[in-house]
Structure 1
């Protein structure tokens, strides 16, 4: 069972998200919070697998809560759920270590897909968000590709394979199946790749893989 912490300052939104997730047999909402500070405290107490955080909340916003969770409960995967899709929010969320970014106006089933992806060690972006990220990295593509290829030159051939599959949105288990590796070995490879590339999370690694030409344009995260 995937244990989820839900944080949003609007009770109606929390009720709606909880109702959607309740239809999934493998997902359980174990705690709810109306502000970011409470979300961090509840995460420490309940140790959920995934935290769904709204960006704009009182006391401590979602970005601040995500940053604190990264320090206090690094095993909790963070997915940002918001009505705002401005580029600054997207960049801040991904730079802050979020595993996913969802719009409240998106398909309800994206919630379940994002929770499962984050729990499996993969990244998930709403299609509209993924499109905007791709547009951002597509600007100045030649110079970006050169820089990205220089960055990934430090990786071994196997690490590049792992990076490409992370970029394609595969979970650790799926990468293991593809490369005939046990999941623990995949986790070690992913951790090594993130450290050597000096990126904070799988989304940033996926963007770098795209820039370097390891995955084709249009591939979903």
Structure 2
């Protein structure tokens, strides 16, 4: 079984130096202050763990956000955003740019490691707030290729339910539910990579001047 390799991009020196030590069961092969440095060195990594906010006084021209994600995906890396950002449309834009996962820096180390492994396995990892956006897109007919069971699983994930909790209420094995989620992940990932954040806003009625524009 191939062990996935991770590279880390973060402008915070202490976090670059410590993440691999805090997650010793994961194989971190390199750490970089910006995406440009990673792309110049091209580490042999399967997943790039990426901080969103990289432009600072010390590196004002550093690529960040969806621009950085697209550059990494174009270079052949799978991307997991690791961030304190909580705005759900920003996070949805990251998924639309090609990120496979979004993980909050407030998660426990155990949950973080599990999420990074899931991304390495190709599973879409999204916080409940963003899963809720996907659920709304399904209800509004913008994402129409899901089966009834996949919609049920998405709704449960949008409410933050674990696979164990879902298993008890749906009377299905956790492995079966994870299978539904992996199939759903592939569908949603393809949809988001073809959909801009603006398209998502329009589908929700939230674009500037639209009905739900506050």
- TM-score bucket of the superposed structures, by smaller chain: 0.5 to 0.7
2-structure distance, mates of 1:5, 1:14: 10
Task: Give the Å deviation of 1:48.
Answer: 0.7
Write out the 4+ residue segments of structure 1 that deviate beyond 4 Å after TM superposition. 160-170
CA distance in 2, matches of 1:134, 1:194: 10
Task: Report the CA distance between 1:198 and its aligned residue.
Answer: 4.2
Is the Cα contact below 8 Å between 1:36 and 1:64 reproduced in 2?
no
Aligned mate of 1:200, from 173, 187, 193: 193
- 8 A contact 1:122–1:166 mirrored in 2: no
| Counterpart position of 2:48 | 51
C-alpha displacement at 1:56, in angstroms?
0.7
Q: Does 1:30 align with 2:49?
A: no
After superposition, give the CA deviation of every residue in 1:47-74 in whole Å (9 maximum; x if it has no partner): 311100000113111432210122121x
CA RMSD of aligned residues (A): 3.7
Q: Distance in 2 between matches of 1:20 and 1:9?
A: 18
Matches for 1:153-172 after TM superposition, within 5 Å: 160=147
Tell me the residue number matched to 2:169. Answer: none
Partner Cα separation in structure 2 for residue 146 and residue 60 of structure 1: 34
Offset at 1:163? 6.2
SS at match of 2:193: coil
SS in 2 for 1:46: coil
2:98 counterpart of 1:97: yes
TM-score by length of 1: 0.61
* Aligned-partner Cα distance in 1 for 2:72–2:13: 22
Matched, 1:147 2:141: yes
1:152-204 per-residue CA deviation (whole Å, 9 max, x = no partner) reads 2xx8xxxx59967995799xxx78x969xxxxxx99x987x569x74429xxx
Contact 1:40 1:65 in 2 (8 A): no
Structure 1 segment 114-129 matched on structure 2, within 5 A: 114-125=115-126, 129=127
Unaligned runs of 5+ in 1: 180-185, 202-221
**Conserved 8 A contact 2:98-2:192:** no
Structure 1 or 2: more helix by fraction? 1
Aligned length: 169
| SS of match in other structure, 2:19 | helix
Question: Which residue in the other structure is 2:109 paired with?
Answer: 108
- Which whole-Å CA distance do the structure 2 matches of 1:166 and 1:50 have between them? 26
